[in-house]
């Protein structure tokens, strides 16, 4: 009688132990699956798919703070190329200046107005002059806001009879704005001034 009772109690003990182990294993598997699903969701959020020419391309998304210096320098470079790259065509000049003015505040508009009033753009058209700019370097301070920058560039003024190479130094500050088609980096240049623009050499053609 008593041995049978002990056997039943032992059997129930084994069943309870087996049930406990099974529940713990189930919870462990469920937790692992949930963790893997969360990781996959996080990885999926860090990817962007772009449709280009009928093909799907994968791009990685990152925090803006990780790329702020790269984006800021590209914004500054784009602005200077639009503002200073000109051809003897009024439509080209207006198009480039318009694109540049989306990237800066009224300080750039003031420089443009002064050049226009002095006949600078009319002289480019009448003299069949082309103008190119190459960015040499951009010093950028992202430790304080708005971000101060100084841009060092080389400007080429191509005339029918000569090519003038000039050094160009400008400075200004960057502040954050909303991104748009006209301002993809979401920056605005403010208090922009030309510090130096002097001839380096003249080559006769």
pTM: 0.69
Query: How much is the pLDDT for 18?
Result: 80
Virtual CA dihedral for 137, 141, 147, 150, nearest 10 degrees? -30
DSSP state of 86: B
Evaluate if residue 163 carries a pLDDT over 70.
yes
Helix ranges restricted to H, the chain: 2-45, 64-84, 90-101, 106-117, 120-126
Query: How much is the pLDDT for 32?
Result: 85
Query: How much is the pLDDT for 87?
Result: 94
* Tokens encoding 147: 């971000």
At residue 66, the 3 state secondary structure works out as helix
Using CA atoms, how far residue 162 sits from 130, 201, 202, in Å, is 11, 10, 7
The answer to whether 150 and 171 are in contact (CB under 8 A) is yes
Q: What is the pLDDT of residues 179-201, one digit of tens each?
A: 999 999 999 999 999 999 999 99
Residue burial 162-181, b: 16+ Cβ < 10 Å; e: rest:
eebebebebebbbeeeeeee
Q: What is the pLDDT of residues 138-149, one digit of tens each?
A: 999 999 999 999
Q: What is the pLDDT of residues 77-129, one digit of tens each?
A: 999 999 999 999 999 999 999 999 999 999 999 999 999 999 999 999 999 99
The CB density around residue 68, as the number of other CB atoms within 10 Å, is 17
Q: Report the Cα–Cα distance between both ends of the chain, in Å, rounded.
A: 120
Higher model confidence: residue 54 or residue 144?
Answer: 144
């Amino acid at each position: 009688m008593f041995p049978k009772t002990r056997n039943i109690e032992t059997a129930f003990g084994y069943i309870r132990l087996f049930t406990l182990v099974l529940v713990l294993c189930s919870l462990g598997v469920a937790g692992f699956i949930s963790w893997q699903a969360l990781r996959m969701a996080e990885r999926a959020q860090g990817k962007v798919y772009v449709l280009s020419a009928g093909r799907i391309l994968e791009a990685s998304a990152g925090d803006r703070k990780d790329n702020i210096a790269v984006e800021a320098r590209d914004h500054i470079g784009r602005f200077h190329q639009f503002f200073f790259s000109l051809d003897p065509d009024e439509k080209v000049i207006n198009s480039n200046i318009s694109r540049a003015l989306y990237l800066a505040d009224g300080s750039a508009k003031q420089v443009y107005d002064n050049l226009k009033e002095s006949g600078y753009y009319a002289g480019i058209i009448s003299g069949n002059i082309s103008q190119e700019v190459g960015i040499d370097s951009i010093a950028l301070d992202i430790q304080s806001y708005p971000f101060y920058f100084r841009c060092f560039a080389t400007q080429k003024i191509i005339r029918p009879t000569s090519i003038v190479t000039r050094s160009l130094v400008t400075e200004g500050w960057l502040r954050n704005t909303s991104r748009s088609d006209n301002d993809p980096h979401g920056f605005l240049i403010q208090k922009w001034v030309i510090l130096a623009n002097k001839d380096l050499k003249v080559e006769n053609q």
